[in-house]
Each structure stands twice: as structure tokens, then as C-alpha cells.
A = this chain, B = another copy of it.
Amino acid sequence: MVPVWERPEPRPRATPVPLSRAKIADAAIRLADAHGLDGLSVRRIAKELDVGPMRLYDYVANRSELLDLMVDAVYAQIAEAGQHSDWRTTLLAIVRRTRAAALEHEWFSDLLGGRPHLGPHALAVGESTAAALSQAPGIRGVDDLQRALGALNAFIVGALRREVTERRTARSTGTELNAWQASLGPYLTRMLDTGRYPTVARLVIEGAHLDAEETFAHNLTTLLDGVAGR
């Protein structure tokens, strides 16, 4: 089976609102932004487009192909980060856009690292990243590049997942304040009061005020320094 991006879009019939993969992806993204990935069903997308559920399967083979489409649409956003003069600013631009995209479309972080991203825009981002990284000092051959790329991607995936997860729990316990205070708070408090987790306790108590963006940037810098051979 040929991947989604390669199949020709079925020629639209003379319908009042002809469908297209882009339209489907847009609707899906809108829904996922609003209700999360769990609230995203083929049927809801179809309803959003005023269409029977099975119509979508003329454009997409699976639900997961639909997710691929959404992911690549986000990569298109990310790919708009231009090339800069030196490798580091280029990388910083790409990563910053990635982070922005992940915070705008939180479901994106749920999909990060979950399946290979092979869409054309994902490849474009990968190309820019690899090209920039290959310019770094300390990257001598293909092996160095592959390793460094792995480290960078791992950090991005992990950090963004973490940040989105934190943001979500903060939101769910913020809006419904009693939830945190009535269940997890006391539970955690009691756990920490056992004295079995002194370091964690210190972290929870003393260190809640770190700015997420600053932390992200700091760690990214550290990592880039590391792979660039300092």
C-alpha cells in the first residue's frame, strides 16, 4: 500500500463542498485542538464536514493515516523556520517552532516519537535539522551526525511530552481546584511525609517556580554544547 502522501487525491465529484485531504486534516486538527486526541473520532470529523463517516475512507485508509496527515500538517508549520547563517541559530529556530507547535496542538506531543514521521514536511524539517547539525564542530562523520541527531530528537520529544503533560495536569487541577487539593495533593503530601522520598520532597516544596521556556532553552543549550564537543 502506497503511503498517504503519494496517493493522488480522488478527483472531487460535482458536490457543493468537495472534500480534500487538506480539508479533512484541517477539521481533524481543529477537533483535536479542542477535545484532545481521545475526543477525535472519524465520525466526529465526518459530522464536522457534514458528510457520512465512510466518505473519509476515500481519502484515507485508516484512522492512523489520518493522524499521519495531521502530524505532517503540523510539520508544515514547523518547516517555515528559515535557514540562518550559523548552525546554532538555525537549530534554535527549528526547535523553537517545534515547541510552539506542540504547545499549540497538545495532541502533537502525544504522537511525538510514537511512529516514524515520514511525511514530506516532516522530512523537510528532518533535513534542515540534520543539515544544520552537520555544520557543528565536533561532528566529524555520518556516525557522529546520526548520534547527535538522535540525542537532539530524544531531548525534544521527551521535553515536549513532559511539558505538555505538566500543563495538562496543572490545567485539570487548576480549573477543578478541589480535585488536586482533595486527592492528589493529600496523597502526595502523605507520601512525601513518609520521609522515603526526601529529595523529591525538597524538589516539590522548594522548586516549583522555574520558568518552563527558560528551562527548556537552558537544557537545549547544554545539550547542543555537548554534541558540538563543547
Contact = CB atoms under 8 A, between A and B. Distances in A.
B147 A215 contact: yes
A154 B219 CA distance: 10
A81 interface: no
Given A113-B158, A199-B131, A200-B123, A218 B165 contact: no
A210 B113 CA distance: 19
Interface string A95-116: 0000000000000001011111
A155 B155 contact: yes
Contacts of A28: none
A40 to B, nearest CB: 16
Copies in the complex: 2
A114 B124 contact: no
A51 interface: no
Contacts of A134: 199
A57 interface: no
A108 to B, nearest CB: 13
A207 interface: yes
Interface stretch (A13-21, A41-49, A69-77, A221-229): A221-229
Interface of A: 1-3, 5-6, 110, 112-116, 118, 120, 123-124, 126-127, 130-131, 134, 142-143, 145-147, 149-151, 153-159, 161-162, 165-166, 169, 183-184, 187-188, 190-191, 196-200, 202-203, 206-207, 210, 215, 218-219, 222-223, 225-227, 230
6 cross-chain pairs, A with B, having the tightest CB-CB distances, nearest first: A154-B158, A158-B158, A157-B158, A113-B161, A154-B159, A226-B226
